[in-house]
Structure 1
Amino acid sequence: MKPQYWFRWFSVQGLPRLVLRSQARRGHPFAQLMGGRQGFTDPYPLIEQLRAQGRLVKTPIAWASADHELVRAILRDNRFGVRANKNLDLPGPLVRLVERFPLPPNPVEPPSMLVIDPPEHTRMRRPVAAAFTPRAVARLRDRVESVTEELLEELPSGGSADLITAFAAQVPIAIISEMLGFPREDKQMFLNWGDAATPLLDIGISRRAHRTALDAMEVMNDYLDGHIERLRREPGENILSSLVTAGELDTYGLKATASLLMGAGFETTVNLIGNGVVQLLSHPDQLERLRAEPELWPNAVEEVLRIDAPVQTTARSALEDVEIAGIPLRKGNTVVVSLAGANRDPKVFEDPARFDVGRANAKDHLTFSSGVHVCLGASLARMEATYALRALFERFPDMRLAGAPRRRELFTLHGYERLPVRLGRSVRAPQATVV
């Protein structure tokens, strides 16, 4: 590992890792949630322990909340922002050390929209937003349908498959690759880069995972240099070509934006589709209801987003001294907001641990965040998942699990690494309709 990368790992990941592990051994639910195996296998009991401690809880490395009202308020409050190195209350000398050693362009470093505040955030977001308007997403519907049908044709009738690698990952990577003008034959590279880089969204990752992620980002950085140069010579009909020709972003900004769109446009939807398959196979009564009332499919996707959020958490830092829930926070204090916890707040959702595809207020979840940082691609993810899930279950009505699904060893991005199923017979069902 390059010396500057080691310093970054030690400052941003290594020290929090030591603190979290120490506190986890003492039984602190937040530390167990963020730094232990249960945090990615079954985080919800730990979230409920955290909720029981109060609406806003002081933890070993930050404040935390799983309260729906409070989480939503913080996300929408312009007195909070994302300007913090890894959103932790790091000592000043460590902050300056981190800033001395920037990483290659990536989703978790400025100028990525994920980690900058207005007005810079507004400048970076504006040219990208046009690709995710309702009209723009509607134009992608035909491609989502054709990609899904092609993948379903390749699944073996009467056979078995890992639905993550054979289906859930393939739908969003095909769409986002086309949106960025990437050749289809490069899809596997993007999948590999995503698997390597996504641990950077977590807190307290190992030095090995950090090194693997940075190696992947350096390779991706070189690839994007060449790709952007090709688009300058021969722009196509895709969002990255539009950004290149508009000239509003420099090359570094273009690469940061492309890497964010790759990650956000792919990882969230993979997890959403995989989580949806497991929920429906684990609740056959709900699947039967969808077969009887197919108009509920869009709401079923909202319920999956609520009950098993593909993005579990985010964080905000106070940009000034502020009082929240009667507790004074100082400028620079960080609040880790549990989106998954807010989605199961019993004050908002009746019987919140119950999976109910007909839940009237399922869409009140906060999985896609809120405020200025609300997810740009939320409508695209909803559309992809709604069509993919409905088409999958209509094509393979006898599908069942063929073993225990295996979770990814990640906390922030919550999904499955492996999802083995027996597909059963393939039938030609009426074509699904995205509502």
Structure 2
Amino acid sequence: MSVAKKAVRWGVTHAIPRVALRRAAGEGDLQARLFTESAETPTRGLTGLFDEIHGRGPVVRGKYSYLVSRHSVVRDVLTSQDVRAGIDRVDGVLGRLSTWSASDHLHPVEPPSMLATEPPEHTRYRKLVTRVFTARAVENLRTRTEEIAAELLDALETRARAGEEVDLVETYCSLLPVTVIAEILGVPDHERDKVLTLGTAAAPSLDMGMPWRQFRDTDRALTEFDAWLGDHLAALKANPGDNLLSKLVAAREDGVGLDDKELRATAGLVLAAGFETTVNLLGNGIALLREHPEQLDKARQDPSLWPGAVDEILRFDPPVLLTGRTTVRDTEISGTRVRAGALVTTLLAGANRDPEVFDDPHTFDVTRPNAREHIAFSSGRHYCLGAALARMEGEVGLRALFERFPDLRLRPGAEHRPTRILRGYEKLPALLT
């Protein structure tokens, strides 16, 4: 793609929206404030804004979209047949420029990605994926996940004995899920670092308002990831292995499988989503448990609490902040009339702090009886396919880490990722005494 087309696409999809939203934020628009503040503030620092949004009613009308944050309303929108995933392209000159400058590579929030499709296409994709990505298949991975965690912790133990400071995101939180998902999808050992690098670089693609340099780097990563996926799938077609991606390549529903573009989009989403959000879950969990040592002690003294602790981490500091929907017809959301084609932002992290569902919602409590009612994995037909895998990896990864290094101490220098949608740590320095 020419530099001119790329620059136009950046202007239409990022530069202009960023300027408009910053201006609206200065005028007090809550949706715009969420856009600006989320770029600079960790999710846990946005609770005051969540409370303000909750206090404005079940549906908050902003300058550019409707914003919903109450648990019941978010769930209703995500399960409604009156909305679809994704955002409509704009009309007029900007719409024509957007079409003219559209990229050639696949994008996680553009069709045929499951994040941006609806029935019947979405139903067909999901059926094929769930046939090979079953709960039983995930649970069968628990022993292997425990082995991978132990291998990573063995390497960290050597550094711990030397008194070295380590970055837990780089040495553990990222390596555990990427190794698991790579084995699931048949990625050779020598290509896993590349997948991790490209997946991490492509993570900001879910955001709006990227600066030019970040947009350019993200676009390049998506192009390289798409090309790598094509080569990897071709290799699996020629020499299928005993892995879930080989099974997905061969899967058929009523005699029809995924075509090449659909297969690349689906495999890319499963691969990237299979480790990106779990990196955040592990990093956020480590930080929360060290900040609340009494909660960590409860989990260590009663290992049966670890599954609930993972759900409380997902509720309290979810890996994904929000997701967008577009109304497909004139409809009503919690008593508010909403026109067809309107953007509705569902604030997942806000729903997880709804006081009508969660008692004392701003308190982190690993014994919370209804923590699993969070909406960190979305809801409805777009409920996260990897939820069971993420929960299992979170439970195994956190428990193994704190059993091996019970006196783990976080060090100054932790950095949050600059992304607005995906929420987690970029660096998490620690001493593993």
Of 66, 70, 73, 1:70 maps to: 73
With over 3 angstroms needed to count, the CA separation of the structure-2 counterparts of 1:377 and 1:328, relative to structure 1, is same
Q: Which residue of 1 aligns with 2:278?
A: 269
Letter in 2 for 1:279: L
Q: In 1, Cα distance between the equivalents of 2:111 and 2:352?
A: 29
**Number of the residue aligned with 1:51:** 54
Please give the per-residue CA displacement for 1:393-427, whole angstroms capped at 9, x wherever unaligned: 00001111111421000111000000011111xxx
Partner amino acid for 1:204?
A: G
Deviates more, 1:143-152 or 1:247-256: 247-256
Amino acid across the alignment from 1:61? Y
Tell whether the 8 Å contact from 1:19 to 1:60 is kept in structure 2 after alignment.
Answer: no
Q: Structure 1 residues 103 and 343 mapped into 2: Cα distance closer, same or farther (>3 Å)?
A: farther
- Identical-pair percentage: 43
- The residue aligned with 2:179 is 174
Q: Counterpart amino acid of 1:370?
A: S
The alpha carbon displacement at 1:17 in A equals: 0.7
What's the CA shift for 1:93? 4.7
Contact residue 271 and residue 414 of structure 1 kept, 8 A: yes
User: Secondary structure of the residue that 1:124 maps to in structure 2?
Assistant: helix
How many angstroms does 1:97 deviate by?
Answer: 4.0
State the 1:244 CA deviation.
2.2
Structure-to-structure mapping, 1:399-410, within 5 angstroms: 399-410=408-419
Instruction: Output aligned runs, 1:320-335, within 5 Å.
Output: 320-335=329-344
Alignment of 1:214-229 (within 5 A): 214-229=219-234
Provide the C-alpha distance between the structure 2 equivalents of 1:152 and 1:172, rounded to a whole number of angstroms: 14
Moved more, 379-388 or 251-260: 251-260
Shift of 1:23: 2.1
Letter in structure 1 aligned against 2:83:
F
8 Å contact kept, 2:86–2:109:
no
Which region of structure 1 is more displaced relative to structure 2, 252-261 or 279-288? 252-261
Contact kept? 1:272, 1:310, Cα under 8 Å:
yes
Distance 1:29 1:333, change over 3 A: closer
Give me the whole-angstrom Cα distance separating, in 2, the residues matched to 1:92 and 1:74: 28
8 Å contact kept, 1:75–1:370: yes
Contact 1:32 1:39 in 2 (8 A): no
Aligned to 1:91: 91
1:415, 1:385 → 2: CA distance?
14
Q: What is the CA distance between 1:217 and its match in structure 2? A: 1.3
Aligned to 2:10: 9
Check the 8 A contact 2:113/2:266 in 1, yes or no. yes
| Offset at residue 40 of structure 1 (A) | 4.1
**SS at 2:368's partner residue?**
coil
Q: What residue is the counterpart of 1:427 in the other structure? A: none
* Deviation larger for 5-14 or 103-112: 5-14
The answer to whether the 8 Å contact 1:85/1:98 transfers is no
TM-score normalised by structure 2 residue count: 0.93
Q: CA deviation at 1:216?
A: 0.9
| Distance in structure 2 (CA, Å) of the matches to 1:58 and 1:124 | 34
Aligned residue number for residue 40 of structure 2: 38
**Alignment match, 1:79:** 82
Q: CA deviation at 1:303?
A: 0.1
Look up the match of 1:113. 114
Q: Which residue of 2 aligns with 1:199?
A: 204
Q: 1:199 to 1:85 in 2, by over 3 A?
A: farther
In the aligned structure 2, how far is the partner of 1:196 from the partner of 1:43?
A: 25
For 2:346, the equivalent position in structure 1 comes to: 337
* TM-aligned CA deviation for residue 60 of structure 1: 2.5
The one-letter code of the counterpart of 1:76 is T
TM-score by length of 1: 0.93
| Cα contact 1:162–1:419 (8 A) shared by 2 | yes
Aligned residues: 421
- Match of residue 346 from structure 1: 355
SS class of match (2:115) = helix
Give the structure 2 partner of residue 132 of structure 1: 133
Aligned match of 2:258: 249
User: Which residue, 386, 389, 397 being the options, matches 1:380?
Assistant: 389
CA change 1:83–1:353 in 2 (3 A) is: closer
| 1:62 Cα offset (Å) | 1.0
Counterpart pick for 2:296 among 278, 283, 287 = 287
Q: Which has the higher mean CA deviation after the structures are superposed, 38-47 or 399-408?
A: 38-47
Does the 8 A contact of 2:40 with 2:418 survive in 1?
no
Deviation for aligned residue 1:153: 0.3
- Paired amino acid for 1:10: G
Letter in structure 1 aligned against 2:344: V
- Partner Cα distance (2:120, 2:95) in 1: 22
Distance 2:200 2:139 in 1: 29
- 1:25 is aligned to 26
Provide Cα deviations, 1:266-325, integer angstroms capped at 9, x if missing partner: 111000000000000000110111122111000000000000011110011111100112
* Post-superposition offset of 1:114: 0.5
AA paired with 1:344?
R
Q: Tell me, yes or no, if the aligned pair for 2:85 and 2:117 is still in contact at 8 Å.
A: yes
- State the Cα distance separating 1:98 from its structure 2 match: 2.9
1:51 and 1:39 mapped to 2: Cα distance?
19
> What's 1:259 paired with?
268
Check if 1:122 corresponds to 2:136. no
Q: Distance in 1 between matches of 2:328 and 2:41?
A: 29
Query: Given the alignment, which residue of 399, 403, 408 partners 1:394?
Result: 403
Q: Is the 8 A contact 2:132 2:248 kept in 1?
A: no
1:245 Cα deviation after fit? 2.7
Give the drift of 1:27.
4.1
In structure 2, the partner of 1:238 is: 243
